[in-house]
Amino acid sequence: MKRRTFLAGTAATALACPAIAQSSKKLTFLSWNIVDQADMFKRWFAAFTAEHPGVEIEWLDKKGPDLPPFYQTQLAAGTPPDVLDLQGGIGIEYAAQGALLDLTPYLTAHPDVKARFNQDYLNNWVWEGKTWLVPFYVAKTLLFYNKPLFQKAGLAGPATSFDELLAHAEKIGAGGTDQTGFLTLNFDWLYWALFKMNGVDLLSPDLKQPVFDTPKLVEVTEKLAKATAGTAINKISWTGRWVEPLGAFASGKVGMLNAHAPAYFFLKGQGAWINQDTLGVAELPGNWSVPTLHGYGISKGTKNPDLAWAFVEFCTARKQAQEMADSRRVLTAYTEVDNALMGHLEKDEPLAHAVLATQLEHTDKLCGNWPLPNDSRIKDAFYPELQNALLGRKDAKSALDEASRKVARELRRA
Amino acid sequence: MTARDRKLLWLRHAALVLISVVMLMPFYWVLKTSLTGENIYAYPPSLWPVKPHLFNYVDVWYLIPFPRYLLNSIIVSLIAVAGNLVLNAIAGYALTLPFPGRRAVVVLLLSCMLIPFQATIIPAYLITARLGLLNSYLGLALPLISTIVCIFIFKSAFEAVPRSLIDAARIDGLNDLRILLRVLLPLSTPAIATNVVLAFIWSWNNFLWPLIITRDPDMQTLPLGLARFLSYMEDTTGALYAFVVMVLAPGLLVFLMAQSSFMRGLTAGATKG
Amino acid sequence: MALVACFLAPSLLIFLLYRILPLIWNVVLSFEAWSPLHAATWVGWDNYDEMLHDDDVFWQALWNTLIFMASQPIGVAIALGIALLVNSDLKGAAVYRTIVFLSYPLMTVAVAIIWRWMYNERGGLINFVLRRLGIIHQPIAFLDSFAWALPSTIVANTWQVLGFFMIVLLTGLQNIPPHLYEAARVDGAPAWARLFRITLPMLKPSLFLCAVISILNSFAAFDLVYVMTNGGPGHGTELLITYIYKVGFGQTRFDYAAALTVAQFVLLLALAWLANRASGGNAGALE
């Protein structure tokens, strides 16, 4: 009896084997502007396919503005990439569109995977009670400041309140020709900490109503507009993207910069003056910060969901996350890995250590990260009006009224 | 030549030189920025490159597979140019013949010009996928393989050929294809040259279409390479501008090589009655 | 007749696949609510309703696009001037022609990068020259200024297409029989009369072509605006074409973008028809 079943079993396996060998599964991985890590990815793919024979990985990388048209076209054609790397609010947007696979069942089935991550960062991708992405690499905003400019202006250290921040900016801006006090990045809500520290919220807790059109916000906006009209706040804050703002700070003529940690490596490359004694690192007043995260998601239209999950699990495993952290000097939200990285850096690169340390503190004070299904539309409704007010085209009240009206309309449509 | 004529001639040259300077200035400024060693974000900028160096160009060459992208762009443009010459010439010829509904066809073609590519991305992708041409050279060239402006350029050129020549050829028993090849095209070198230059420029510079339909990094064209470089390595030294120069150089070189016959074709037209 | 069909077929096929079918797709889609993952539902005029009554960005973009097109004749006039200067056996004419045309073969993205740099407050040539000449004392943030941003992009666009207009007009000038000028000279007609009585009327087909290309330049300006200002500041340089792209791929509202596309198409048809009437009906000699 046993021998017969054994033989039957062997025969069955023997018949099945050629079938398995023939069916080669293809996994497409679409990443967001990370082509500099090509070597690392090739190692990962080789390791993964060794563990999963018969699997072929196709790697596509698109830069930020190019990824949406590419992805949407793929969706329309019915051939979405299996695994995606998405930045910022677009993750929730795609989830809300129905493009992504709900990862909650996988995380429940693999609690060890879930426990790897810093839960504050992981919770950024919860929408309607479900988790849609897991962290790939994370960053949040901090305050870089130019110590020599601070000394020249007679300032002891970074500000601890909004008004103090503006006062510092005023002083530094007045301190020399072409000098300005403060600069911030403005994409993906990165400036929101400035408002949050004044107790302003964008939307009601249920995310259905705009609640920002308050006298407090008008006051804050007017202060910022006045500072921008002078030399306290550099205009590039509201009009620049990545290169101009960072370039301006790197030129040594700006007192403070509100940007996320990866800016540090860019600045170091451009500003010869930057070293441990000249670059200060601090949290913004109130310890508020805006996260900008990259996460792995799986397309709902994938033909191999389990395989896609295996790939995501693999990429966020200890070894891979460590490689990513070491190679790019970025945090992965994988707690142990991040702690290990910080351990190295403390000795080898104290300034990088100081910068990255801010990324791990106060993760309970994240703002500007509402899980909105129509994040881009809300941004489009809000930011141009805010920009109008900050650049002096409209007065703050009417600009914010207009923004409130437009945001309400978008929320109604959702 | 009278004194007045000489003065006019000098004025003409002066005006043209001024225009040339204005047209060339942006090129020079970018070239200078790519070579200079100063901090380009510091004011005032210098008019000449300060401590010029070629490191930016070296960076760019090693950062992306420049030769591969260049080759891809060349192949796609060759297909597009060849296709344009054939398709546009025969279509242009057909439009010179009287046939019922000709006006409607002309209006149709003119209307087609008013449809921007950005609005056609998704359907164009789906159609190309159906044809099995995704990620292929032909697929890259296909949407631009015939262009309406160039059809009309051929049409105008053919219509400018004296009727007597065409009638004579017909009496000699030549069929339409022969008339096109033996009589019309040889007398329309400006139109041919214009077709070549325009088809080349439009296919060479196309960015959005290759973005959508290429999957292999090896199939990318040069504009995509520029965009790729722009994204991660966007930096405040001259490297970005070095890249601009390097991407423009092949297109400009090709144009400069072709321009003598292109321009000669135009002046030859001056002797036409 | 069969021959005509054969000769027209290949081109018409390409246009059918890549322009007409997509246009029909857009028209149908403009009456529906659709996203890549959900089935389409018919919503009638809703999208158009929103566009006309509930969307001030649309009106801003429309206005900007019209201004953009209205400024194109300046470029055509300059190009005509250059073409007239260069249209002769003037020594070095070929060199001048080449120099003027040199800007056209550039990728628009590259043109945008070049001009964004030219306008830069610190390292840009324009601010440098203006400050050196004492015309201004503080740098002007051309691309961030509500007043200057759109004209700045128009200047960059004009620089790029000037050569193309010049070529079209040159070809037209070459086709004017010289004996017409001879006869006019013999009759004692002054230069400006020759220009207005002979040159311009004979150039009607070329001018019509330039008019159509001007209209199309607002498409070509997509890359220019996208890279130089991204429609900013605050939609100050938003063109219909950039708005369509943003709505489609940025906000993932392809149905609404389709309505915008149809609206733009209708607008352009109207403008092309007007240009046709202005150049004497029947599209100059395009009939």
Q: Which domains does chain C have, with CATH numbers?
A: 57-278 (1.10.3720.10)
Q: In this structure, are residues A254 and A234 in contact, taking their beta carbons and an 8 Å threshold?
A: yes
* A227 CA to centre of own chain: 28
Q: What is the mean pLDDT of residues A289-293?
A: 90
**Can you give the pLDDT at residue B41?**
63
Cβ contact (<8 Å) for B90 and C7? yes
CB contact under 8 Å between A75 and C36, yes or no, is yes
Cα C130 from Cα C132, distance rounded (Å): 6
Q: Is the pLDDT of residue C88 over 90?
A: no
Are B155 and B92 a contacting pair, CB within 8 Å? yes
- C32-35 and A291-298 strand pairing: unpaired
Question: In chain A, which residue's Cα lies nearest the Cα of C253?
Answer: A377
Q: What separation in angstroms does the CA of C81 have from each of A127, A289, B19?
A: 62, 58, 11
pLDDT in tens, B92-133: 989 888 888 888 898 899 889 888 888 888 899 999 999 999
In the numeric block, the tokens 């170091």 are attached to: A268
The mean per-residue pLDDT over the stretch B159-174 comes to 83
Task: List the alpha helices (DSSP H) in chain C.
Answer: 2-15, 21-30, 46-53, 56-70, 72-86, 93-101, 108-118, 125-132, 149-174, 178-186, 191-194, 200-202, 204-228, 240-245, 254-278
Query: Rounded to whole angstroms, how far apart are CA atoms A148 and A146?
Result: 6
Contact C250 A68 (CB under 8 A): yes
Mean pLDDT for chain A?
A: 87
- What angle is formed at CA B169 by the lines to CA B164 and CA B171, rounded to 5 degrees? 95
C145 has pLDDT over 50: yes
Average pLDDT over all residues of chain B: 80
- The DSSP bridge partners found for residue A135 are A295
Q: Do A247 and B232 touch (CB under 8 A)?
A: no
CA–CA distance, B240 with B60 (Å, rounded to integer): 8
For the segment C67-71, the average pLDDT, to the nearest whole number, is: 91
The Cα C241–Cα C109 span in angstroms is: 15
How confident is the model over B28-77, as pLDDT tens digits?
Answer: 888 888 887 666 666 667 777 777 788 778 877 777 777 888 899 899 99
- Predicted pLDDT at B262: 61
Give the least confident one: A236-250, B233-247, C186-200. Answer: B233-247
Q: In which element (H, E) is residue B104 found?
A: helix B102-112
Distance CA C158, CA C152 (A): 10
pLDDT at A279 over 90: yes
DSSP summary character for residue C222? H
Contact C102, B252 (CB under 8 A): yes
* Residue A282 φ/ψ, nearest 5 degrees: -155, 170
Q: Is C239 helix (H, G, I), strand (E, B) or coil?
A: coil
- Cβ contacts of A6 within 8 Å, gap of 6 or more: none
Q: Which of the pair, C265 or C182, is modelled with greater confidence? A: C265
Please tell me the distance from the alpha carbon of residue B235 to that of residue A244, in angstroms, as a whole number: 9
Instruction: Among A132-141, A267-276, A390-399, name the one with the lowest average pLDDT.
Output: A267-276
8 Å CB contact of A72 and C234: no
Prediction pTM value: 0.84
Q: What pLDDT is stored for residue A141 in this prediction? A: 93
Which among C6, C12, C13, C15 is the top mutation candidate for probing chain B, defined by the most B β-carbons within 10 Å of its own β-carbon?
C15
A161 phi and psi angles, rounded to 5 deg: -150, 165
List chain C residues with CB under 8 Å of A68.
249-250, 252
Q: Which residues of C touch A93 (CB under 8 A)?
A: 252
- Would you place residue A169 in the very low, low, confident or very high pLDDT band (cuts 50, 70, 90)? very high
| pLDDT on residue B263 | 58
What is the DSSP-derived secondary structure letter of residue B2? Answer: -
Whether residue A186 contacts residue A238, with contact meaning beta carbons closer than 8 Å, is answered with: yes
Name the residue with tokens 């790029």. Answer: C160
At A297 the three-state DSSP class reads strand
Confidence band for A59, pLDDT divided at 50, 70 and 90: very high
- Between CA B272 and CA C7, with CA C3 as vertex, the angle to 5 degrees is 65
| pLDDT attached to residue B1 | 63
Q: Mind listing the pLDDT tens digit for each residue in A12-40? A: 444 443 433 445 789 999 999 887 788 99
> Which residue shows structure tokens 């072709």?
B258
